[in-house]
């Protein structure tokens, strides 16, 4: 992608991202902000109230989730995941400690990925990736976090840590790798509905 196309893409996405995620809500507040690395002291920002979980954009001029909203979402995630899977919150925080969350409004295509049923998809358009047990990438799709794959990628990180850093169960509900169950998929759907209800 050349520089002009990239700039035009960012401008178009700027308009789309600032639209409310649900057109029916009248008090919808945006969970994203535009970032320009030339005006920031640090490209990597620590999410307050977390064990050194950081967030950065893929490109110098891009979009990222607002830090205060991310703090709320991550705290909700830890509490809800703890309740659903009977894991102590301190253990979940330890698994997420030092996590780097990379975000971008520009989508990615990967040569190969798995859908939620474990079916391999070639040249897949992805909205998130668990790149390691301490680094995820999430696409900023709208002005709200609930539309992103953040919760999905956080589940991969936890499973990766539970599998001693070997894998995060890339085939989800498929049978090639272990860890991901139907309960994880249900959890993510419910969690995103809760974020929607909380205007996040």
| pLDDT (mean) for 58-83 | 96
Instruction: Give pLDDT, residue 42.
Output: 66
Instruction: Give pLDDT, residue 39.
Output: 83
Instruction: Give pLDDT, residue 28.
Output: 55
pTM of the complete model: 0.85
Count of domains observed in the chain: 1
**Burial (Cβ within 10 Å: 0-12, 13-18, ≥19) of residue 148:** buried
Chain CA centroid to CA 79, Å: 17
| pLDDT (mean) for 3-18 | 45
**Top-confidence residue, 7 or 175:** 175
Instruction: Give pLDDT, residue 18.
Output: 41
Strands 45-46 and 32-36, bridge-based pairing:
unpaired
Domain extent for 139: 3-197
Q: Is the pLDDT of residue 109 over 50?
A: yes
Of 4, 9, 14, 33, the C-alpha closest to 107 is 9
In the numeric block, which tokens belong to residue 7?
């700039």
Q: Is the pLDDT of residue 7 over 70?
A: no
**Top-confidence residue, 28 or 134:** 134
Banded pLDDT at 145 (limits 50, 70, 90)? very high
């Amino acid at each position: 992608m050349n520089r002009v196309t990239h700039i035009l893409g960012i401008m178009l996405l700027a308009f789309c991202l600032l639209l409310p995620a649900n057109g029916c809500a009248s008090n919808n507040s945006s969970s994203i902000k535009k970032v320009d690395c030339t005006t920031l002291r640090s490209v990597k920002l620590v999410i307050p109230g977390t064990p050194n979980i950081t967030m950065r954009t893929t490109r110098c001029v891009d979009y990222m989730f607002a830090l205060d909203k991310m703090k709320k979402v991550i705290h909700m995630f830890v509490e809800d995941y703890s309740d659903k899977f009977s894991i102590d919150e301190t253990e979940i925080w330890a698994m997420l400690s030092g996590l780097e969350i990379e975000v971008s409004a520009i989508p990615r295509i990967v040569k190969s990925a798995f859908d939620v049923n474990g079916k391999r998809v070639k040249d897949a358009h992805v909205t998130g990736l668990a790149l390691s047990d301490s680094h995820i990438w999430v696409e900023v799709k709208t002005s709200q976090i609930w539309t992103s794959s953040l919760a999905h990628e956080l589940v991969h990180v936890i499973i990766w840590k539970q599998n001693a850093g070997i894998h995060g169960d890339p085939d989800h509900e498929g049978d090639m790798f272990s860890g991901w169950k139907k309960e994880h998929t249900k959890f993510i759907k419910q969690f995103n509905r809760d974020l929607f209800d909380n205007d996040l």
